[in-house]
Amino acid sequence: MQKEQEFIDTLYARVDELRGEAADSVRDAITPVGTGQQARLERDLLVVERSGLLAALNAVEGSLAFGRIDLKDGTAHHIGRIGIRRDDTEHTPILIDWRAPVARPFYLATGHTPMGLRRRRHLTLDGRTVTELHDEILDLEDAERTGYEDPSGDAVLLAALNSARTGRMGDIVQTIQAEQDNIIRHAHQGVLVVEGGPGTGKTAVALHRAAYLLYEHRELLAKRAVLIVGPNPAFLKYISEVLPALGETGVLLSTVAELFPGVHATGTDSPRAAAVKGAAAMAGALAAAVADRQELPMPGAPIVVPHDDGDLVLDWEIAYEARQAARDTKLPHNLARPHFAFRVIDALTAQLTERIGADPYGGPNFLGPDDIAQLGKAVAASPDVHAAIEELWPQLTPQRFLADYLAEPTHLTDDDAAAIRRAPADGDRPWTPADVPLLDEAAELLGHDDSAERAAAEAARQERIAYAQGVLDLSKGSETYEFEDEDESEVLAAHDIVDADRVADWYEEEDHRSAAERAAADRTWAFGHIIVDEAQELSPMAWRLLMRRSPTRSMTLVGDPAQTSEEAGVGAWSEILAPYVEDRYEHTRLGVNYRTPSEIMELAARVLRAEIPGYEPPASVRSTGVAPWVRQADDLGAAVAQAVVELAPEEGRLAVIAPRSLHEVVARGVDGVVVGAEPDLTRDVVLLDPRQAKGLEFDSVLVVEPGLFGVSDLYVALTRATQRLGVLHAGEVPAALA
């Protein structure tokens, strides 16, 4: 123990040294030593690099080192959350990053396959103090013993599984099991599907895979960023500390509802409306609705455009030919619009040319090319012409288009249209999560005409160039630089070696945001890798959105089709992925339940077997000896209050999971709960509905009125507990719980 404490003291002394150096570097870099482009660039790179190092060192402060491997050749390596070198000049590490190849035997070695190890040691720390050691002997011929041997080799894992929950997910880096390690380090570069029942560690494995990929492909993923998609904001808060604890801070965590910049989807849909909006058929309906906005005048009822030289007539034939030409470009609606406008303007110019310059005796037109060009400019500048073009082919934003569409949905069945219709008077109603994939689809169909933005940017650049030229003109002869030539010494003025364009580029504002920050603000960002949790719940339209964010199809999808509860959820992996990668994806399963005790898991499995006969849950690694209970209550509010007192752990967290419709009643027995507010998972007792509870875990769980849950929702609710489970009901219960 003393030797390990000495090592920890040495390690943290080095960490403190690195932390101080990084803080000094950031502070010094904020005040640049030069004003040139090179000095500024070096400063910015240093700030980014040192700030990232400082954030990583601060994030991994707790239990930085957690293991040691002793090899048969006499060498030993300490394993930790990040790698630490002894000093800046020596490449020998004092601490090995858990993701490094040399660390892999720590997770995979067994007595049967020791992988060159004599011993594997687990270190337990409280802050910077070593409190426990657990050794596993892997070379059975080695007679040396330390007194810290763990005969079963499971003490550290079981201690982690039985520890009190904090309301925040912790990393599993110290207890990664072999089947989990194989997935974390899986070399497949396309779509990897990780399926597993409750408690198998799907989410933890996915997060550690993100950390591993960032380690293995640092240069690529640092530029393109990693996106982690979760089912709801509470879940994202729950997992938010895992990657920082592993030294990774440059990842974007988001729900699908947050992936359209500028839109905050706070509204709600009925389950039926969400299902209709999420269906694959919506893509075709929206495409057809966009085409409907490319209109034609009624035959025989042309649009009359006032003009100084007589009215112009925009009839069906002109508009039809212009529309076909624009559609033939295959460009999105807004980008094809200029092609439509040019054809209309050309046709109206020809009409005006014929009227003004026609030879009454049938000869050639009197107007020359310059005259016709001037008429074309006048037509193109006419507000009335632009109004006519806007009427037939309007410039649309995704928000405007979708709001109009939802007011009068088309290309759907009458029942589906009625389910999603909202009156124009509701135009100020907030967007819903199911609207976000539709907005993204609309953005793809419409396209973004950035010609005005590019023109403004170029105008600003020309202003910078003009200013820079003025500066150079004033500096002529005021400053010189000497350059040695092999034949003679030549003296050049500053304006001879630097032009105004280059000076303007130096002073152009740079974007210092991280890749994750830039990705969050850019709808068209292509991520280096995407991880999707509870992937079975996403709708076909949500998948279309995500696949646009991953053109390389580098994704890790985790979930359990048996837990699909959203009506719009696809569930089956083949149905999700066939439109995008066909069958070119890897599928793997996690088969061990580390969270849920066997007593609780058997009860939950009975519920699911009523829907899926023969269903076998993942095998639980532990039993608590505490059976779950099911009780009937006359006064539900009072019964909840009593059960909360009974189930609340001395340390840890209790979740009360009830239908949303009963939250007001249930809250009477749960102190401090604000109904309708975003749940605070760090509180001792939290009130949730089943879908809010997805992916979460608690020491104790109280399920209220299970007869009002769907089978999948009930299965989720019953499998959130790590220690104790109670079920209260006033109404009927499923037969499996009777």
Binding residue positions for ATP? 196-203
Q: Measured at the alpha carbon of residue 672, what is the angle toward residues 671 and 677, in degrees to the nearest 5?
A: 130
For residues 504 and 69, what is the distance between their CA atoms, to the nearest angstrom? Answer: 56
C-alpha dihedral, 502 to 505 to 506 to 508, nearest 10°: 160
Q: Measured at the alpha carbon of residue 354, what is the angle toward residues 349 and 357, in degrees to the nearest 5?
A: 110
CA distances from 594 to 124, 134, 499, 726 (A): 20, 20, 66, 20
DSSP annotation of 510: P
Q: Which one, of 308, 326, 458, 442, lies nearest residue 385 by Cα?
A: 308
Would the CA dihedral through 572, 574, 580, 585 be positive or negative? positive
Q: Is 26 exposed, middle or buried (0-12, 13-18, 19+ CB in 10 A)?
A: middle
Mention every residue, 6+ apart, whose C-beta is less than 8 A from residue 189.
554
- SS3 string, 603-622, reads HHHHHHHCCCCCCCCCEECC
- Residue matched to tokens 């930085």: 64
C-alpha dihedral, 512 to 516 to 521 to 527, nearest 10°: 130
How many of the other CB atoms lie within 10 Å of CB of 203?
A: 27
For residues 565 and 558, what is the distance between their CA atoms, to the nearest angstrom? Answer: 15
CA distances from 543 to 285, 521, 546, 547, 555 (A): 17, 20, 5, 6, 12
Give binding residues as ranges: 196-203
For residues 114 and 117, what is the distance between their CA atoms, to the nearest angstrom? Answer: 5
Contact 682, 649 (CB under 8 A): no
For residues 605 and 37, what is the distance between their CA atoms, to the nearest angstrom? Answer: 65
Contact 241, 168 (CB under 8 A): yes
Contact 599, 630 (CB under 8 A): no
Helix or strand run (H / E) with residue 630: strand 629-632
* Long-range contacts, 583-589 (Cβ 8 Å, 24+): 584/190, 584/191, 585/190, 585/191, 585/192, 585/193, 586/186, 586/188, 586/190, 586/191, 586/192, 586/193, 587/193, 587/195, 588/182, 588/183, 588/186, 588/192, 588/193, 588/194, 588/195, 589/194, 589/195, 589/196
Q: How many CA atoms lie within 13 A of 123 on its CB side?
A: 27
Contact 713, 690 (CB under 8 A): yes
DSSP annotation of 164: P
Which residue(s) pair with 67 in the sheet?
Answer: 79, 122
For residues 525 and 516, what is the distance between their CA atoms, to the nearest angstrom? Answer: 10
Strand, coil or helix: what is 681? Answer: coil
Q: Which one, of 704, 595, 697, lies nearest residue 644 by Cα?
A: 704
Q: E-assigned strands of 187-287?
A: 191-196, 226-229, 251-254
